[in-house]
Amino acid sequence: MKAGPVLEAAPRLAALAHPEHRPSDERWSPIEILGHLIDSASNNHQRFVRAQLDSRLEFPGYTQDRWTALQQYQSESWDNLLALWISYNRHLAHVISAIPAGAQPHACSIGGRDPVALGFLVTDYIHHLEHNLAQIAAISPAGTSSDGRGAV
């Protein structure tokens, strides 16, 4: 993973006019999605490092709705969360680049599911991050940032 996509998205995210806006009561706001991405970074950081130490590991699952509600991302500072997300993903890019090829096939089971390779977890993390950034872009109010340009 390279930090490029994160660094490219950062200015667009920073310019988002109303990150606390929820498109509906059932859907997360951009700030909650960003909080969820921090949770994803945190959970996957553990997996990326620990899976290099052991060829077969079991990790707990992640109840995303509960984590997001408990951490009250909706009332958190957008600037603080954005800075944390950027820094965390810069670090994860470094961690991922240092994973040796021999550790890529190490098996990881998450939440009692069938094991997958560490290499798959890395690829899946990147796809998940991109998917959630696209969600933020799709739900940002009126599709514009505070300066009137296109959103994320």
Q: Under CATH, to which class is 4-140 assigned?
A: mainly alpha
Burial label, 17 (beta-carbon count in 10 A; 0-12, 13-18, 19+): middle
Q: pLDDT tens-digit profile of 96-126?
A: 999 999 999 999 999 999 999 999 999 999 9
pTM over cut 0.85: yes
51 in Cβ contact with 106 (< 8 Å): yes
Contacts of 118 (CB under 8 A, 6+ apart): 47, 48, 51, 52, 99, 103, 104, 105, 106, 107, 108
| Domain residue ranges of the chain, discontinuous segments joined by + | 4-140
C-alpha–C-alpha distance, residues 127 and 134, integer Å: 11
C-alpha–C-alpha distance, residues 60 and 95, integer Å: 21
Tell me how far CA of residue 144 lies from CA of 8, 67, 149, in angstroms.
Answer: 17, 28, 5
What is the arrangement of strands in the sheet containing 107-110, beginning at the earlier edge strand?
56-59, 107-110, 116-117
Instruction: Give residue 94's identity as a one-letter amino acid code.
Output: H
Q: pLDDT tens-digit profile of 28-81?
A: 999 999 999 999 999 999 999 999 999 999 999 999 999 999 999 999 999 999
| First and final C-alpha spacing in the chain | 20
